[in-house]
């Protein structure tokens, strides 16, 4: 009798057990598969692109594709990216109204990154039309022989900013001293963490993060794909 009961119960148990096993295998396969597809394509896809409200944006705000740079004024690769890839991107896609370009500060190089970003955010707040030129001039001032050198200083910022008639130097100085735009820096740092940015520059096309920001052909193909799918 005992034996019979046991036999009765076991098929159901087996079914439950098998279902669990199959479910577990499927879950593992799904995870492995998604990891594979990402690494094969040298990119990581996020569910949503970084929000760019309050960030400096270049180009048509209604452009269908958004390219975001996570950059650091102290980083030599960001300077190089700005000189080699950025002009092509602006010429090919931003000026044609297909792409809007946004910049988010990364503070991987300590106090100088912070000072440069505070200054840039202050310039953006008081004179958005001066922002991108100031941004470019700040990168230009980065010494190409020794980026570790102390070069983002108060004096350097004043020197660069004084070439812009629309920048109120006194306001800029006050903003730096009082860290008026610290909130903006914190907002940027939160995005850096949320999107797990490890290197600068990190480039994202809509929600897709490139492994190699210097692969312009890849950037182009991602933009074209997004344009086709719009």
Question: Interface residues with Ca ion (CB under 5 A)?
Answer: 55, 184, 188
Q: Which residues contact 21 (CB under 8 A, 6 or more apart)?
A: none
CA dihedral 221, 226, 227, 230 (to 10 degrees): 160
Q: How far is the CB of 52 from Ca ion (least distance, A)?
A: 9
Nearer to Ca ion, 125 or 147 (CB): 125
Least distance to Ca ion, CB of residue 168, Å = 20
Compute the least distance from the CB of residue 170 to Ca ion, in Å: 22
Residues ≥6 apart with Cβ < 8 Å to 177: none
Minimum distance of Ca ion from residue 55's CB (angstroms):
5
Q: Which residue is nearest to Ca ion (CB)?
A: 188
Q: Which residues are bridge partners to 44 per DSSP?
A: 209
Output 105 or 142, the one with its CB closest to Ca ion: 105
Measured from the CB atom, is 72 or 184 closer to Ca ion? 184
Burial of 210 (0-12, 13-18, 19+ CB in 10 A): buried
In the complex with Ca ion, which residue's Cβ is closer, 98 or 117?
117
């Amino acid at each position: 009798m005992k034996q019979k009961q046991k036999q009765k119960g076991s098929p159901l148990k087996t079914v439950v057990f098998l279902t669990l096993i199959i479910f577990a295998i499927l879950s593992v396969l799904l995870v492995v598969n998604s990891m594979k597809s990402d690494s094969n394509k040298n990119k990581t896809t996020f569910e949503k692109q970084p929000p760019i409200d309050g960030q400096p944006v270049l180009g048509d705000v209604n452009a269908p594709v958004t390219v975001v740079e996570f950059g650091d004024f102290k980083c030599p690769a960001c300077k190089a990216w700005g000189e080699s890839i950025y002009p092509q991107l602006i010429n090919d896609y931003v000026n044609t109204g297909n792409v809007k370009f946004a910049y988010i500060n990364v503070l991987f190089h300590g106090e100088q990154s912070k000072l440069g970003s505070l200054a840039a955010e202050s310039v953006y707040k008081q004179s958005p039309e001066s922002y991108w030129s100031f941004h470019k001039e700040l990168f230009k001032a980065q010494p190409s022989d020794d980026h570790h050198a102390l070069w983002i200083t108060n004096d350097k910022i004043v020197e660069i900013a004084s070439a812009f008639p629309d920048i109120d130097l006194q306001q800029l100085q006050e903003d730096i001293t009082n860290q008026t735009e610290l909130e903006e820096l914190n907002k940027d740092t939160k995005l850096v963490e949320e999107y797990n940015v490890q290197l600068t520059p990190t480039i994202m096309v809509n929600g897709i993060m490139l492994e190699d920001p210097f692969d312009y052909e890849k950037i182009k193909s991602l933009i074209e794909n997004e344009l086709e799918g719009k």
